[in-house]
Structure formats: C-alpha cells, structure tokens
Amino acid sequence: MSFMKLKAISILLTVINFINNNNKKSGQWWQSLHRTMLRGVLGKTFRLVGYTIQYGCIAHCAFEYVGGVVMCSGPSMEPTIQNSDIVFAENLSRHFYGIQRGDIVIAKSPSDPKSNICKRVIRLEGDKILTNSPSDFFKSRSYVPMGHVWLEGDNLQNSTDSRYYGPIPYGLIRGRIFFKISKNVSLIQLLQPCLYPGNI
C-alpha cells in the first residue's frame, strides 16, 4: 500500500472521528437543553398547580367561614328584600350558634338541597310554634325541636316556608344576611334582626 493511500485513510479516519465527537457533543448539548426546558416547563406547571390549590383553598375558606355575596330571587321576603336585591351573607354566626330570632338567613331548601332559600328566623329550638299552618301535621307539634329553627318569609301570602315543610335543621343554614344592596344600587342598607309584624 502506497504512502499516499495510507495518508488518505488516516485523514479519513481523523475526519470520521471528528464528526463522531461533534455528534456526541451535539447530542449532549441537545439533551442538556431538552432537560433544562423540561425542568422549566414542569416547574412552572407545578407552581401554577400549587398556586391554584392554595388560592382555591383560601377562596373556599372565605366563602365557607367568612361569607359571600348572593343575589336573591322571588317575592317571599318582600318588602324587606326585593327580587334581584344583592345581599351579603356572613357565615360566622352559624358556626358559633349566633343566629337569633328575627335574623334573615340563607339556608339549603329542605325540599330541594340543590337550591337555597332566603327566610327570616321566627322561632328557635324549644320555642312554641304559633302558626296558621295549612298542614295539619304541624298543628300537632307545639315546640320547635332541638337543633332546628322555624323560618317564614316576610311576605306570608307568597312564601313557602316552615308552615309547609316544618322546622329545618340548624345545619341547613348557610349564612346570616348582614346587609343588602338594592337592584338599582341606590340603597345600601344594614339589616338588623327584627320580627316583621306579620310574623309575630
């Protein structure tokens, strides 16, 4: 084999070795870049999930234990609360058994747990029931059972309340209405506990 051929083969092997080394470095560089990008994306994703869970928990605790804004619908609490009035319901009172006679509350409907009702607390547990209930069943019950409250709407002629479905468990109360904003935002009114004349 001539000297020229050996030199050509040596140069060819050098070139192949150079290409292989560059390919390895290029592959390592690409893998490093890929890992860095993946870590960045995963890190951002995990941080986003963490923030979402954190703020979700804060929002849940705020609505569950502090209160929230509710829009009332229906005529059962007129004239105190009109249809489409916006009210703020605080939830601390129900957790500390601070509900009083005359308070207006938001509660889960005993006949439809998926919906809420807005009524006034007329009787507490142990209070004597004084009502002209259309149901004969409640005429035989003289007192509100323990752990229950008696609710009625201020508009007695147009309210489905405890006169129809009886006392409701205290646990169904979601919050006590603290103040209202009228639908045209012309009036912000603090609501104090009281018994509406028709409920006394």
Active site residues: 76, 119
Pairwise CA distance, residues 76 & 198, whole Å: 12
Pairwise CA distance, residues 163 & 139, whole Å: 10
Neighbours of 149 (CB within 10 A): 25
Sign of CA dihedral 26, 32, 36, 42: positive
Pairwise CA distance, residues 171 & 112, whole Å: 15
Give the three-state DSSP class for 107.
Answer: strand
Pairwise CA distance, residues 177 & 184, whole Å: 19
**Using omega within 30 degrees of 0 as the cis cutoff, is the peptide bond preceding 79 cis?**
yes
How many Å separate Cα 162 from the centre of its chain? Answer: 26
Pairwise CA distance, residues 185 & 86, whole Å: 9
